[in-house]
Chain A
Amino acid sequence: MNLTTFYLAVAGLILAPLVGGLVAGVDRVLTARMQSRMGPPLLQPFYDVGKLWSKVIAPASHWQGLFVRWALVASLASDVLLAAGADVLMCFFVQAASASFVALGAFCGSSPYSKLGAQRELFQLLAYEPVFLVAILCMAKVSGGFDAYSFMASDQPLLYKMPLIVPGLLFVVLVKLRKSPFDISGSHHMHQEVVRGVYTDYAGRDFALLEIAHWADVTVVLWICSFLWATSPLAMVVTAFLFLFAALVIDNISARLTWRHMLKVVAPISLVLATANLLWLYME
């Protein structure tokens, strides 16, 4: 590990959650605008986290604090890995670990809604993980390596060779951003039959940390999506923004689906598309 990698890693550690927070801010402003509202200030997510941090509240379970911190560490670790140009597959697994911790913490909670949310979170994980993995495999196939740098090194946008994984990636982004139609396990301010699902029992400081972990997650996911057009940093930012924007539009034009529908219809379709893309890459 040389010094540059180290600096990049540190940058990833600090910047990624900030970027994620900003993404959340942009998300809220744009969403409001799409609903013909003025919306909150851009920095609202940061105020929210600051507020949550300063709240005094009894935990719902003694274990949750542990899992929240582990989730945060895992999420940040996946950002750092990505920033340092490490193996994207491992980075993905680390991030999945974060999601597992969030669900585990929810399982430890006391509210039935928290537990339902945890179950649904797992079903979501089940639905998007394979798609996401196959997408990464496609990228690796085209760029000839599993590390982030080789993903960024190709001079032709990866997208040319993998149009069919776009729906799958969009699906992943929607799930990860907790957006309709896949805000199944816990949406943020919309009203849900499971209240806030996995988040129901997290509160106060734990919740603030979880939010930061979520920001880091969102950054990783959008970052990986941006590899599709990694010809220049600007192109990557634009690609990530387009994914975000598409997700917001879809959020605002669709109803929430059920996990049954997600597992039986959406996930298989996006997986089949992604697999078809993968096979096509092998045929070439």
Chain B
Amino acid sequence: MSFLKTSQIKSPWLMHFDCGSCNGCDIETLACLTPVYDVERFGIINVGNPRHADVLVVTGTVNPRNAEILKNIYSQMPDPKLVIAVGACGCSGGVFRDAPNVLGGIDKVIPVDVYVPGCPAKPEAIMDAVVTGLGKLKGILEAS
């Protein structure tokens, strides 16, 4: 693959959005950045700005209010982009599926590329998800 394509896989900038999570998954996502897990090994930087992000990591359940935000930031990310739904909540609404102000998982609002089960998902699982997502991206890039 050309340098440009390789670099797309070697530099996944990540953005985390807490979409109504209980914080359990948030702190595990954050833990990925810290010395013991250090995802910067894969070139991952946690950016706060959708315009710079390649990978959107979403934790938590969707409610009508944050669904708008989620849609907005997703649409502000440049293509090609990956979405990772973290935790039972992000995947399906988890334990809160039946709560009155919960619409369900992230895929109710935006397309999800990788689902990470767990409550909370372990940092290792989140790293697996990024690797899986990049594999998917690589496939797309190679095909193009």
Question: Taking the complex as a whole, does A directly touch B, i.e. does some CB pair lie under 8 Å apart?
Answer: yes
Q: Give the interface of A toward B (CB within 8 A).
A: 28, 32, 35-41, 44, 46-57, 60, 188-189, 191-192, 195-196, 199-204, 207
Residue in chain A with minimal CB distance to B50: A203
Cα(A196)–Cα(B13), bound, Å:
14
CB contacts (< 8 Å) of A32 on chain B: these are: 38, 40
Cα(A282)–Cα(B42), bound, Å:
53
Provide a sorted-by-A list of 28 A–B residue pairs whose CB atoms are within 8 angstroms: A28-B40, A32-B40, A36-B35, A37-B34, A37-B40, A37-B41, A39-B40, A40-B40, A40-B42, A41-B10, A47-B10, A47-B11, A48-B11, A50-B4, A50-B8, A51-B4, A53-B4, A54-B4, A54-B5, A54-B8, A56-B79, A57-B51, A57-B79, A189-B45, A196-B49, A200-B51, A202-B51, A204-B78
Cβ–Cβ contact A195 & B48, under 8 A: yes
Cβ–Cβ contact A35 & B43, under 8 A: no
Number of interface residues of B (CB under 8 A): 26
Shortest distance between the CB of B15 and any CB in chain A (Å): 11
Question: Contact check: which of B3, B5, B40, B78 meets A57 at CB < 8 Å?
Answer: B78
CB contacts (< 8 Å) of A53 on chain B: these are: 4
Cβ–Cβ contact A40 & B51, under 8 A: no
CB contacts (< 8 Å) of B42 on chain A: these are: 40
Cα(A260)–Cα(B6), bound, Å:
43
Shortest distance between the CB of A170 and any CB in chain B (Å): 25
CB contacts (< 8 Å) of B4 on chain A: these are: 50-51, 53-54
Cα(A39)–Cα(B10), bound, Å:
13
CB contacts (< 8 Å) of B47 on chain A: these are: 189, 196
Cβ–Cβ contact B52 & A40, under 8 A: no
CB contacts (< 8 Å) of A35 on chain B: these are: 35
CB contacts (< 8 Å) of A28 on chain B: these are: 40
CB contacts (< 8 Å) of B113 on chain A: these are: none
CB contacts (< 8 Å) of B5 on chain A: these are: 54
Cα(A44)–Cα(B9), bound, Å:
11
* B7 interfacial contact with A, CB 8 Å: yes
CB contacts (< 8 Å) of A48 on chain B: these are: 7, 11, 13, 43, 45
Question: Contact check: which of A44, A57, A196 meets B11 at CB < 8 Å?
Answer: A44
Q: Given A191-B48, A195-B48, A200-B49, A47–B43 Cβ distance below 8 Å?
A: yes
